[in-house]
Amino acid sequence: MKAVVIGGSGATGKPLICQLLAGEPVSEVTALLRKETFGHHPKLRQEIVDFDRIEDFGDKIDAEIAFSCMGTTLKIAGSKEAQWKVDFGYQYRFARLCRERGVSTFVLLSAVNADPDSRFFYSKMKGKLEKEVEKLGFQRLIIFQPGLLIRPGTDRKREMIGVKAMQIINKWGLLNWGFLEKLNPLDVADLAKAMIQSVMEIQGMKEKGCHIENQDNLKNQGIIEKQNTVPQSTMDYDEPVRRIAVPEIQHLYRQI
Which residues are annotated as catalytic? 122, 126
d(CA 100, CA 136): 9
CA end-to-end span of the chain, whole Å?
A: 29
CA-to-CA separations, 196 to 15, 37, 39, 65, in angstroms, rounded: 11, 21, 22, 10
d(CA 131, CA 133): 6
The one-character DSSP state at 223 is T
d(CA 256, CA 253): 9
Q: SS3 breakdown of the chain: % helix, strand, coil, rounded to 5?
A: 45, 20, 35
> Is residue 4 within 8 Å of residue 63, measured between CB atoms?
yes
d(CA 162, CA 181): 14
> Is residue 235 within 8 Å of residue 246, measured between CB atoms?
yes
CA-to-CA separations, 30 to 1, 67, 72, 132, 189, in angstroms, rounded: 12, 10, 21, 24, 19
> Position 233: which residue type?
S
Burial of residue 104 (number of CB atoms within 10 Å: 0-12, 13-18, 19+): middle
